[in-house]
Chains A and B, each alone.
Chain A
Amino acid sequence: MAQTENQISQWIGLVFFRDLVNGLSLTLSYMFSKTITEQYPDKEKWVPFERYRGHHFLTTDENGDTNCVACELCAKICPCDCIEVVPYEDEKGNRRPLVFDIDMARCLFCGLCEDACPADAIKLGQHYEFSSESSEALIVGRDALMAAPQKASHGGKVFEARLTKTQGVQVQEIENGQTYDWWQRIRRR
């Protein structure tokens, strides 16, 4: 009895295209739901989470003096030999780096230098858009590292941004723009 009922139901489904209608209703619901495209670089930009290992930066204390004491531990632990540190003695008698070059082309952004540093001087931030047109421009010096963007206060969200071509080509976040959590927007069944 149940078998014939099942068979009848199968025949009705065949005649009225039940499986096709299932597929069509699914795509119809997708057609009218929000898209999940992140419109980079025209409207949005993804700021990674805090743990993201992006562009390096040297931390400074309140006076603007760098925390780095040029102990060269980062250079020694770097698996790619891309950090070059030359220490010197500054006016106040402290040991500071005269030369602190990181070759971004060789760096593999493992974060070992950040782990090895005893002074919490070198850290990796969330900046990831630094492609350049020459390899020489990718060797970042001490002053550039001190001026590099620090850890973002917000992270793990998509931000409103615009593509600007005024100072080179960059995608700049809009101040007090809208932000949303991309992962919550993905439709899951």
Chain B
Amino acid sequence: MAEVLVVVLMLVKMAVVVAVLLILPIPLTWIERKIAGHIQQRLGPMRVGWHGLLQPLADGLKLFTKEDHIPDEADRFLFTLAPVITLVATFAVFVALPIGEPVTIWGTEITLHLTDMNVALLYVLAIAGIDVFGVIVGGWASNSKYAVLGSLRTCAQLISYEIPMGFAVVGVVMLAQSMSLVTIVEAQADVWNVVYQPIGFLVFFIAGMAEAQRIPFDLPEAEGDLGAGYHTEYSGMRFSLFMISEYLIMVFLSALTVILFFGGWNPLFVPLPPMVWFLLKTSFFIWLFMWFRFTFPRYRYDQLMSIGWKVLLPLSLANILISGVFLSLP
């Protein structure tokens, strides 16, 4: 009986996670357009529903009814496969993310994560790297010059920023003595990691922005410069799958920043339920992503690569060195 309960609980949690992740980009697009509008002193969507709240539904309807166009010379199987790879990798990442302390409902204790691996951090960073395959396959399968060039640039950008991102979290692992995300959060009960690892946080956040391909690092998908890069040839529902995965990666990176550097669900002065704190902090970082998007111009490709290799990588290595020195002192 207990095993059945465990299995049922796991299935319910999986269903909830998948449902939430599928629905999440919808309000995120609305928030992004509203923030974009207000930063630019205008209102954003206002006519579709009250203050534009039904605008994402209108957009979704538009994408549904668009013609599903596969280029003539394209590789059909790979073309259809590419967004699926990206989306599967993005969903798989959320398996390991905890969002709060265990809650007790009707006597059973439910942990707010799908699994608590003891190498969760490594798993998360590794699975996030599988997104690159979706990019490569998408660009290659489109069989178009702009798509191939864009996918090559995107792929180079993504793999070169994975390295400083991985090194930046080594300091966090040293502090918490574990790679399990739940343990890392619990180790920040007194002081958040950002106090001990400011450089690590900066490197991680900047590398994360590049991984999420948000401005200022979104040259590969800049519509004006490269004809939208690897998703040039995608239209309708397939394009929206790429967009969903982009928003979900942004959510994932905000959540990971909060877990690793900002205390996860540990409260700050005001006692609220842990999950509420986690959601507040994550939405702060999502807002930060969007604020940065509409403030900064985008980096040129060579500037982008030089930042990744010549600035962030040495900084992250220096961070490891300094953290190691400080931690080895008695």
**A30 and B46 contact, Cβ closer than 8 Å, known pairs A20-B296, A24-B291:** no
Select B294's contact among A27, A32, A36, beta carbons within 8 Å: A27
Residue pair A37, B39 in contact (C-beta under 8 Å): no
Residue pair A35, B296 in contact (C-beta under 8 Å): no
Taking the closest CB of chain A, its distance from the CB of B315, in whole angstroms, is 11
| Best-surrounded residue of A27, A28, A30 (most CB of chain B within 10 A) | A27
> A86-108: which residues lie under 8 A (CB-CB) from chain B?
none
Residue pair A28, B291 in contact (C-beta under 8 Å): yes
Q: What's the Cα separation between A143 and B47 when bound, in Å?
A: 38
Residue pair A35, B38 in contact (C-beta under 8 Å): yes
Residue pair A36, B35 in contact (C-beta under 8 Å): no
The residues of B that contact A36 with a CB separation of less than 8 Å are 41-42
Taking the closest CB of chain A, its distance from the CB of B124, in whole angstroms, is 27
Q: What's the Cα separation between A24 and B295 when bound, in Å?
A: 6
Size band of the interface chain B makes with A? 10 to 19
Select A30's contact among B38, B43, B292, B296, beta carbons within 8 Å: B38
The chain A residue with its CB closest to the CB of B297 is: A23
**A39 and B46 contact, Cβ closer than 8 Å, known pairs A20-B296, A27-B39:** yes
Residue pair A23, B42 in contact (C-beta under 8 Å): no
Select A23's contact among B43, B47, B296, beta carbons within 8 Å: B296
Residue pair A39, B40 in contact (C-beta under 8 Å): no
A187 within 8 A of partner (CB):
yes
Apart from A31-B35, A31-B38, A39-B46: 9 A-B pairs, beta carbons within 8 A: A20-B296, A23-B296, A27-B39, A30-B38, A30-B40, A31-B291, A35-B38, A35-B42, A37-B43
Binding site for A on B (CB under 8 A): 35, 37-43, 46-47, 291-292, 294-296
In the A-B complex, the 6 residue pairs with the closest CB atoms:
A27-B295, A37-B43, A37-B42, A27-B39, A31-B38, A35-B43
Show 19 residue pairs from A and B whose CB-CB distance is below 8 angstroms, ordered by the A residue: A23-B295, A24-B295, A26-B295, A27-B295, A30-B38, A30-B39, A30-B41, A31-B35, A31-B291, A35-B37, A35-B42, A35-B43, A36-B41, A36-B42, A37-B42, A37-B43, A39-B46, A42-B46, A187-B41
